[in-house]
Amino acid sequence: MARSPFERISVLPSLEKPLALLFVDIADSTMLYERIGNATAAALTQRVLSHLRRLVEEQRGGVIKSLGDGLLAAFPVCDDSARAACAMMDIQDQHGMRLRIGIHFGAVIEGVGDLYGDACNVAARVQQIARPGEILATQALVDGLSPDQRSRTKPLSNVAMKGKAAPIRVHQIRTADEADDAIESTTLGFSLVPEAGRSMVTLHLSYRGQDITMSRGLPRVTIGREDSSGLRIASRQTSRQHAVIDFTRESFLLTDHSTNGTYIRSGGSPPVVLRRDSTKLVGSGLIGFGAEALDESQDHVVAFRGELA
């Protein structure tokens, strides 16, 4: 009987094996629970995860473990991981959800019900920076794809990762129906530190006479050029789905999903460029969605002001 590629290693527990690792999760699952209730959201999540498991198995992969609202799967062949990821994206509308997927190819050590090694950390990080409805893959994964599968990838910029001396090249894997839009992506981690013992409870956003106050009552605002955005920015430099600000854990978290990046200027400090990463907003200042924020009158600039408890 042939050995499964996911059979537990018992004789040589330190043996490394190369695998394509796929992390997938349901985007904005916290908002889902708030919107439709715990019981309904939990049942829907389990249906989606069950469907994802079947797609993994159909592409000769194995589900290593469940992660609450997501899965870690592994594939001996890179092409199979890419096909599984695209199949997952194809079922999003069926369930009314958006998924985020990250894939990396590297050596791992198999333990009881889990995989260990730096490759797991890289795959998880790539999944975290993917936009809802997006598949991201590392250069190592793309290098292992067949020419047919590689033709569906689009290179992005390098992504800095914690614990890595050099940035990692990330690619977008496009499904058959996906628009052919380039997305630049360089991550720069940054965090503003609030005053000791105090947290922000409201965040005021001002843009061309429009004022939005975020709080527990309005915990999320989407920002971009699309008409459906919570705060629509009328600038060619701003992406259609540029960024999101979430109120979470008593902080306001700005997450960039854009092509040109988000520029934050606060006080007299130099501007911080944020690309495909998140940062807490504290104090007051200007945010440039797509270019540096020099003045509040610019068509891509939003003024922000936080109030502390």
SS3 at position 97: coil
**Token pair of 78, please?**
């890179």
Q: How far apart, in whole angstroms, are the C-alpha atoms of residue 226 and residue 211? A: 18
Superfamily of domain 16-173: Nucleotide cyclase, GGDEF domain (3.30.70.1230)
Residue whose tokens read 């939003």: 302
Asked whether the predicted pLDDT for residue 291 surpasses 90, the reply is yes
**Token pair of 107, please?**
């050596």
User: Where do the domains of the chain lie?
Assistant: 16-173, 200-308
Q: How far apart, in whole angstroms, are the C-alpha atoms of residue 256 and residue 276? A: 5
Angstrom CA distances, 131 to 76, 183, 277, stand at 26, 11, 10
Asked whether the predicted pLDDT for residue 185 surpasses 60, the reply is no
What is the arithmetic mean of pLDDT over 227-253?
Answer: 88
The CATH code for residues 200-308 is 2.60.200.20
Q: Which of 165, 158, 161 lies closest to 186, judged by CA?
A: 158
At 286, give phi and psi (nearest 5°). Answer: -125, 145
Share of the chain above pLDDT 70, in %: 84
Q: How far apart, in whole angstroms, are the C-alpha atoms of residue 21 and residue 84? A: 11
More confident residue, 164 or 243: 243
Q: Do 16-173 and 200-308 come out as alike in CATH topology? A: no
Return the axis-axis angle of helices 78-90 and 38-58, rounded to nearest 10°.
Answer: 140
Whether the full predicted model's pTM is greater than 0.85, yes or no, is no
Q: What is the pLDDT of residue 180?
A: 41
DSSP 74-87: EESSHHHHHHHHHH
Q: How far apart, in whole angstroms, are the C-alpha atoms of residue 309 and residue 297? A: 30
Q: Which of 32, 25, 50 lies closest to 131, judged by CA?
A: 25
